[in-house]
Structures are given as C-alpha cells and as structure tokens.
Structure 1
Amino acid sequence: MIFMNGVAADEISGVSWRKSVASAGIGACVEVAALANGGVAVRNSRDASGPALIFTDDEMRAFVSGAKNGEFDSLYG
C-alpha cells in the first residue's frame, strides 16, 4: 500500500515504530517505521494517531547522513 504525507499514523498497519533510546522517558519522541513498499514513515509520539510524514529511502538516507555529519547542530545552539 502506498501512503501519502499526512496520513493518520494509526492507519499505517503492519509496521514497527521505533524511537531513539535517547528519548526514553521524556515523552517527546520522533518515531520512524520502515514501510513495506519502501520508504519511511515519521510520527510524533505525543500524537501516535496523528499525521505521519512519508519519505523515500533516498530522502531519509540524505537526512540521516546530514544529521550524522552535524549539519543540523546549529538548530540547538
């Protein structure tokens, strides 16, 4: 099944949502799930049935690479 951006996250069935262990216990987590047809869904754990953003594998690889390289560090001082 193909999902569009903004789909209710609880409509994405058969996936395993994951979050960073660094976010454990603080209740404000970004969760990701690999989609069966490729791509990644992203949701806010505070609203688990709220909208999910859908990214292609290439988009997610580019983002993770940038995060690993510190390209977004300036967002937090």
Structure 2
Amino acid sequence: MEQIRNGVSADLLSDVTWRKSKYSGAVGNCVEVATLKSGEIAVRNSRFPSGPALVYTREEIAAFLAGAKDGEFDDVL
C-alpha cells in the first residue's frame, strides 16, 4: 500500500470523496476532509483544492475533535 505523506498535492487523492461541514461559508473558506483507503484522514483547504493535503491517522483526528468539543481551542477564534 502506498504511504501518503503530509503536504501531498490533493490532486493525487482524486479517488476520494471530499466533504465539508454544513457550517462552512459559501465563499470557499472551508476545511474539507476525506477518508483514504488506508483509513487515514486527509484535510485540505477548499480555496486550494489541488493541495496541499495533510494526512492524519484516525487516532490523531479523534484526539483533535475531542479537544475541540471540550473547548481546548476556543482561544484561537
């Protein structure tokens, strides 16, 4: 299985389905995620759909989401 590196061009991930939050704005200021065949999660900026895409393990995404839900990142707004 090919290992995907962080900062890869999102164009190389053409066989995945990107999705974004229903809370995203209509002007292209969105974070999009896609599940890779390996189970890892790719993240990209919708304003730059060709990349780069950052790739995280499911555990890394789970830790980030748990922190976000718990308010750990509220100070960055």
TM-score, length-scaled by structure 1: 0.92
Aligned runs of 1:22-33 on 2, under 5 Å?
A: 22-33=23-34
Aligned runs of 1:25-64 on 2, under 5 Å?
A: 25-64=26-65
Larger % of helix: which?
1
The Cα of 1:27 is off from its aligned counterpart by: 1.3
TM-score, length-scaled by structure 2: 0.92
Unaligned runs of 5+ in 1: none
Residue-by-residue CA offset, 1:8-42 (whole Å, 9 max, x unaligned): 00111221101011114131100000011111000
Matched, 1:21 2:22: yes
Aligned residue pairs total: 76
Where does structure 1 differ by over 4 angstroms across 4 or more consecutive aligned residues?
none
The Cα of 1:7 is off from its aligned counterpart by: 0.6
Identity in percent? 55
Alpha-carbon RMSD across the aligned residues, in angstroms, is: 1.0
Larger % of strand: which?
1
Rounded Cα–Cα distance in structure 1 between residues aligned with 2:69 and 2:16: 25
